[in-house]
Structure formats: C-alpha cells, structure tokens
Amino acid sequence: MKIFLYRMMLFFCLTLLPIAICAQTNYYNVTTKNDTIGVLKVSKIIESEKVIYHYAIDIGFEIVTKIHILYDLSTVYKNDALFSASVDNTVNGRQRHKSDLLWKDSYYEINEEGKKSRKFGTLVNYSNIKLFFYEPIDVQKVFSEHAAEFGTLKLKGKNHYELTLHTGAKNHYYYKDGILVKANIGNSFIPFQLVLRKK
C-alpha cells in the first residue's frame, strides 16, 4: 500500500503538476551502542524536470574529548542524471571537507577545497543520496558525492544491501516497502546506525 501511494504521489507530481513543487522529508535517529547521538534530515523536492535532494546530519559524542560533526549535502538531478552536488563537513567548527561538482556536457568538474580541480567522465544515475528514497533494486554501483568515486553494491538478503566504498569501508542498508528504515554506517569517525523515525 505504501509503495502504491508513493507511486501515485510521484505520478501526480510529474504529470498533473509539472510546474509545481512536491516535497518529501524523512528523519532518522543517529544511534551508537543504544545511545542517540544525533539526527539526520533528508529531503527531496521535485520541481518540473529537476529533483533537489538535501542531507543534513548533526552528531555529538565524546571520545576523550567532545566531538561535534555537521555534514551537509545538496544534490540536484536533471532528467534522472546527477547534475550537481555540494558537500560541507565540519568537525568542532573546523572545516574537514568542502567540495562541489557540476556536469559540463561530457564530464563532471570536481572542485575540492585545498586540491586541484579534476574531471570525472562517467554520467551518474544513482548516487548515495538516492539510497534514502529509492530501494536500489538491480543497482550495482553507487556514486559518492563526497569522494566522487563509485562504490559497489551487493544484495545480501531480502531488502538488505551492502555498499563497499572505494576505501573498502562497508555500509549496510535495510528497506521495508521500498523505504529505507535502517542503515549501519561504517565510514565515519565512529560506526553508527540510522533508524527511521515513525511518523
């Protein structure tokens, strides 16, 4: 039933209201060792042929000293292909990573603070942000907006997927009725779990 309602909403947004804006927002608790250490907000806005995604996570924990992590990702898709993305990551108020990418007709121009710009020549149809809105059925590669590299995705069980990043780190994603309900994240300061909040 949830999948049917979602598909009807998507059809309504794309066909009956081609100029209007349709939005979807989900919240996830960030947990580790049964403690809640933060919150993740993900959103999707459909506007004509453009889809705008946003990911904002706020985490606080203590390992010898207090650690406060803010991570912000904005991604735009046009005609079902990644068009642009920007990442801003701070730790205790200090810049840890800042980058952006933009499609230039035949390649992505990638700019990362403190490094020379580079090009990436493969058009992307499925990146990390989509894992929060679409179960990756038949998807084998997932593009990281942060690293501008592909990771490998494997089906591990019913509605359970393992993403191996270019660094070798592994994340696990679990779906119910096509919706991401839980994720185990291994590529961070500390391993943590994302759990979908009930509405």
Mean pLDDT of the chain: 90
- DSSP for 24-38, please give it: EEEEEEEEETTEEEE
pLDDT in tens, 158-183: 999 999 999 999 999 999 999 999 99
How many angstroms from the chain centroid is the CA of residue 141?
14
Rg (CA), the chain: 17
Contact yes or no for 129/144 (Cβ under 8 A)? no
Query: What band does 6 get if pLDDT is binned at 50, 70 and 90?
Result: very low
Tokens of 46: 């459909």
Q: List, in order, residues 6 or more apart from 39 with CB less than 8 Å away.
A: 27, 28, 29, 30, 57, 58
Task: Scan for tokens 């933009």, then name that residue.
Answer: 102
Confidence at residue 10, expressed as pLDDT on a 0 to 100 scale: 47
Q: Which range has the worst mean pLDDT, 54-63, 168-177, 183-192?
A: 183-192
- Who contacts 93 (Cβ-Cβ below 8 Å, separation ≥6)? 68
| Residue 16 falls in which region: left (phi positive, over 0), alpha (psi -120 to 50) or beta | alpha
Q: What is the pLDDT of residues 23-53, one digit of tens each?
A: 899 999 999 988 999 999 999 999 988 999 9
Quote the percentage of the chain above a pLDDT of 70.
89
The rounded distance, in Å, linking the Cα atoms of 109 and 107 is: 6
The whole-number pLDDT of residue 14 equals 47
Q: What local confidence, expressed as pLDDT, does residue 18 receive?
A: 47
132, 140, 160, 179 from 44: Cα distances, Å: 10, 23, 23, 14
Residue 139, pLDDT score: 97
